[in-house]
Structure 1
Amino acid sequence: MAYGIKETMLAKLYIELLNLPKEGKDALKLLNYRTPTGARGDAGDFATIAYFVLKPRCSQKGSLTVQQVNDVLDAVASNNSAKRKDLVKKSLLQLVTQSSALEQKWLIRMILKDLKLGFSQQTVFSVFHSDAAELHNVTTDLERVCRQLHDPLVGLSDISITLFAAFKPMLAAIANIDRIEKDMRHQSFYIETKLDGERMQMHRGGDRYEFFSRNGFTYTQQFGASPREGSLTPFIHGAFKADVQVCILDGEMMAYNPSTQTFMQKGNKFDIKRMVEESDLQTCFCVFDVLMVNNKKLGHETLRKRHEILSSVFTPIPGRIEIVQKTQAHTKKEVIDALNEAIDKREEGIMVKQPLSIYKPDKRGEGWLKIKPEYVNGLMDELDVLIVGGYWGKGSRGGMMSHFLCAVAEPPGPGEEPSVFHTLCRVGSGYTMKELYDLGLKLAKHWKPFHKKAPPSGLLCGTEKPEVYIEPCYSVIVQIKAAEIVPSDMYRTGCTLRFPRIERIREDKDWRACMTLDGLEQLRGRAAGKLASKHLDVGAEDAPREKKRKAAPKARRAVGIIERSKAPDLSNVSRVADVFEDVEFCVMSGTDAHPKPELESRVAELGGYVVQNPGPDTYCVLAGAENIRVRNVISSGKHDVVRPEWLLECVRHRSCVPWQPRDMVHMCPSTRQRFAREYDRYGDSYFADTDRRQLEEAFSRIQSPGPQTPADMAPVIADLEGRYFWDPPALSALRHHTVYVDLFAVVGDPATEIRGTRLAAAAWELRFHGARVVSHLAEGVSHVIVGEDRSRLADFKAFRRTLKRKFKILQGAWVTDSIDRCELQDEAPYLL
């Protein structure tokens, strides 16, 4: 069962359910479970850390039965796959309130699928039955293993492929082009395009369909269990020949763009397993094998015979269900030509198959080979990027860095060195354990905790943040090989690398020589993001990969300090007063009239001293202009940020002038509390007399909030209901929906007017249950409700294609059924 929940998501859910302070000790333990603490040696073991957090907060003895636990886990899996986070929280809340900490420790391990028993499933299988491991590898069905092999004396002589039972598909091994003719036994072979989608098997029995992934997970609900539902089945059911009622097909599920009549690559921003009929792209099943037709099993037939049978199973429908085309070849040159053509077409690679091979579930190779450009030396562009962050490992890598965050540099000015870095990718493969250990020793003393609210000024991140970071001058460049550059919001560059791995550590390169943003953009534009832009020569020998060799290290340049981080020379400044004697200031920016060096001199004149980075003893930060360093200080919330005018006023009076609201760019919590006691929300003092200028400033801060409409209050009400109600109130089921009801009716037609009245009633029902019903169709509408009059359906769909956020078009029965059953109904059966 796929729960789809990992440690970080569990940590956030537990923090919310237990109402832990987000910056509190226990919350940080859960979020940073991989960070070594040295206390119990449990770094990387989330379940153990969660146990100690839960122990003082949970009952000593749980009250759930085994059946109830199974029901909760089933609910977690189904609701998470449906992206119903609120219902996942509700299921976990049941575990928190009705289970002991020890029970939850093992339930967490079940959800994470890592029981840490000290032995693998293979050990259990070997004791249970000699054929157990083989049957499970093929079917991925533990219940089937237990039922068929419960008697040790009963052997499994023939593991067969069964209708509506998932099995692990046959896989391809990586080919060596130089040996391709030998591997194909010097006989003819097939070449196919390697499709970049999701491996999927389709089982059909009459009007019943089921779809399984390569790991045995079911996606039937997504693609359609019958000809009346799903993003695929309704469009392909009529393609099957009349005499074919039962079949099992193996292929690749692809996303097809009907506008360009091309297949989308997986690197683009879409998820084929979550596409719906309303999407701009459409689901297409590309079939390359058939394993059963009308209950006749074909696994032991040759590939040539299966291909002949496949052509008689269905009639292809372009963009919906197609047969993967193959060409017959004999020589290595034809393979190289096919690979070069795939590179030109920006395809993932090619497949090479033996016509006489039989289908062997869960076997790799056995007559099937794959060739990608990244498997061949010299065809890929490689990137020299800088390690800027790290992540603690778990399991065998617990207590050490296992993954690294890499970045490219902003192009520095002439004669300058790079000082700002944009994150690009996270990488955790390609090295040996010894290389990882040696790299860990090299960088260990330079890692610093990464604080999301106060990130280092020179490191720009997207949504992906490291657990620790390293100053560039102490880091190393790594050479990375990847398949392509793809769009991504997780990294500051706006893109990332697909399938990245470290090829070698560039000891021969100084940290300043890492790739820049300009170099990345050139590489990205050269071949539409594909990093395979070179052809393989026909005469080239594709020797096995060489072992990585460390180049002789060059003499490293002296480590320096970035110019802006150097302390100013204030030795020549004469002190004129002791107003700020031994008080620490950080001047981050000045104004046009009073630049940063001048302000630092003014601090020194009054007896203070200047630091370049604020610390625990810093009195305040002075900022005349907002830049990224100032924004980082503000986001940290640890320091007061004050305008330079306050300092200049102190200089004029040669005394420390009390802060007033107009002086403040940002206040830390303690200062904000003090101001709240002395000033109202508009900056007018409760105690001190005011003058005309101060009064005008206070009036300028008063802004009319404007009228509060029900639409403005809906998100607030929904948040309160979600936070404080155990079960969502029945009258708020539609609170998050913005609905347009098609009340258009033909005047003078009594039947149409009656149907219009029914829709009008549905509109009132929607409002009554929390939905926002709008009178005009526009961006932001989530659902359109249509009655029996479907004359405007084509117009709605045409308008939908112009929007960024696509609304769903549903029958009016969805509203009435949801309200009658007091629960939102699955939208799929009501889609139009």
Structure 2
Amino acid sequence: MSSIPASHSQVTVASQVPFTDLCSTLEQIQKCKSRPEKTKYFKDFLDSWRKFHDALHKNEKDVTDSFYPAMRLILPQLERERMAYGIKETMLAKLYIEILNLPKEGKDALKLLNYRTPAGSRGDAGDFAVTAYFVLKPRCIKQGLLTVQQVNVLLDSVSTNNAAKRKDLVKKSLLQLITQSSALEQKWLIRMIIKDLKLGVSQQTLFSIFHPDAAELFSVTTDLEKVCKQLHDPSVSLSDVSISLFSAFKPMLAAIADIQQIEKQMNHQSFYIETKLDGERIQMHKDGDVYKYFSRNGYDYTQQFGASPLEGSLTPFVHNVFHENVQNCILDGEMMAYNPTTQSFMQKGNKFDIKRMVDDSELQTCFCVFDVLMLNSQKLGHEILSKRYEILNKIFTPITGRIQVVLKRQANARKEVIDALNEAIDNREEGIVVKDPMSVYKPDKRGEGWLKIKPEYVSGLMDELDLLIVGGYWGKGLRGGMMSHFLCAVAEIPPPGEKPSVFHSVCRIGSGYTMKELYDLGLKLAKHWKPYRKKDPPGNILCGTEKPEVYIEPCNSVIVQVKAAEIVSSDMYKTDCTLRFPRIEKIREDKEWYECMTLDLLEQLRGKASGKLATKHFDIDHEEPQVKKRKTVPKVKKIIGVMDHFKAPDLSNVSKLSSIFEDVEFCVMTGTESCSKNELESKIAEFGGSVVQNPGPDTYCVVVGTENIRVKNIISSNKHDVVRAEWLLQCFEKRAFVPWQPVFMIHMSSETKQHFACKYDQYGDSYAADIDAVQLKELFSRMSHLKEEISWDVIADTEERYSWDCSPLSMFRQYTVYLDLSDEESDLRHKVNRTRLLTGALMLRFHGARVASRLEEGVSHVIIGEDHGRVKDIKAVRRTFKRKFKILSEQWVKDSVKAGELQNEEAYLI
């Protein structure tokens, strides 16, 4: 295949770079073991590409040529839609056999077809690309003929024709690739087609070398081509790329702060504290007399707020406040509703929408500005926050109730943050925002120097409401076939000595629980739901305009503990109010249905703090709110088994101690040494359950103390979950429905196996639940047969991929350290030195280092104790090594561990 012709204006770097150059680089990256070497080879290739690019397009403008043609081949897994080949190893094997005219039963053909089978001593079993390389090597041209651009053109042809199901054209393109590539090139072509290059370096690492903001932009756009084109110049920042006049961008957001760690999160430097405003996040774009307004999700609200000084609820009132030298600007802030009568801002939950305020409203639109991102065509995202604040104060003259600069205070300590939060609670404000003065603006990035603190984020600061579920709504999608939302109510105060009989609806809730908790709650209430008829509603459940699809008699329902931000007015519910941002915290198994919140208590909360449900202060001394904590009752977590519904128990002759097993049917096969079968059955009845002697379709599980023939027959039927009696004893002891764990299971039905596969790994370790020391020992005992060793590079790549490499526990991860332990132990000094260095070895391992048992090639650091007698010998050994190691004092390790970060090695060199 000849080179693809192109005029000078169409010449790209990719059309000039041989594909073999890229493959040679990939080969070098794969072969070297250390990450610094791998990254160096990639950076060298990237730098040469950019250098060639600058020379090729020296006098051109608006160049679209970029590193994308190479990057898409290096990271093919990120191009799933554009590079969908529909080709796997077996198809390639058959294609090679056909093109090379290999005997189908011949040695090489069988190698290709059976590449997973271990053969020879190369250790390449399972790697089709390597297997193909050795088969192709004696049969291919020595030097490839294709450029990077030609390879991309052919691969795009394969993808396009595969989508169109034109197999003959797919085969034709592959034939061109194969016949004009060397064995080495085809090895990497195969990996690109299969989308697994096995480079031993993560895409995050490659992104970071390409551009510091590349990973960030890709996470927002998922467009590799856009990343390569917009960030081709490494000196251009993401904010410069993302922010442009009259073009919406996703704003920078604040992450949830940890008050206890706030000083550390602010790098132990001074910081700003601002009031968190409860309005609509809006960005204003202004160019002369032309204005545009965008929401945080990019919606255009220019028509509402005004495209010119002659229209809208805001622009006519703020146009003249801008200083004469301001031609254009982009401002970031919060659009608020201001009441000029009370001279205060309205909260978003108070039955109004700032984006739809009418002209005759008694409220007026006010733009509260807290950042500036462009001024007179100069982009400011890369400037630090303190500098942007200086610029912001020179743009316009504030007018109270129309356009204001959000006030900030400078602080240094956690106590000042706590005082500001308590002040916000007293002022009925949403919370506070803490910002790092050195932070730059990163669109669509959460955190990065901006932190928010709301009372609801702090345990114990919010008043919680115990509401009764009285209605339900059928779900859609993943929640189809179950109740996904619930109508909750409070009770009218009943006469003394009686239970409440009338309930008033207060809110609809559909969040706060997991899918498992939702499913379990649905099972618990399933048989009690009744259709809600608007023409004939139940007399004891009073609703506003919001009506449920089904309802439940209060005596059959449960109380849920609900947390919300505030109580706001609403005519949709019978109470004439509702909750803002409600979510279910837990089911109150310790409370009966008639113990729910009453109407008068709701009114007290509503009036106490203008509806805000945060009234308690955070106490810096106790580091927790000074409130009496309720005893936490474990959530009921019933594992999904094979039953379709629960069978109602007959408990007329049983004295119930608890109702945790209400409506649950068990079959007890055998007892334990400490608790017989009859005793287990009696206990089940006491806790509200029912017992059968033979498991049926309604049986929740089969309980077994000791296994016998009958138990084995039950297991072989594969119809029921078979559980150890120890689980039942734990339920009795804790008086709660203890969740199943793998250790409890003797046999699992297919449904339960599927459930456990989502919650636990193959050794029974939960993906989410905490584990204690005893459980950890049991887990290790189940894993004792494992002999695999995890590669240090795998650990390092995993840490980097999930940003764990910034942890102090990983500070020495990239180092291989040898500690000089003298063998001369004739005097006390050497013994002390040896003990000190052994302690140092533990410290190094604990913080990620690989400690070598002997001084060998690959060691990066040698640590010396107080005895420097062997330093001369160690330096002599160093001269013989290809890779030179550093010789440091043990104090470097101690000081680094103490500081929580690596110290400058120069000060500790020996």
TM (norm. structure 1) is 0.49
TM (norm. structure 2) is 0.45
Rg: which structure is higher?
A: 2
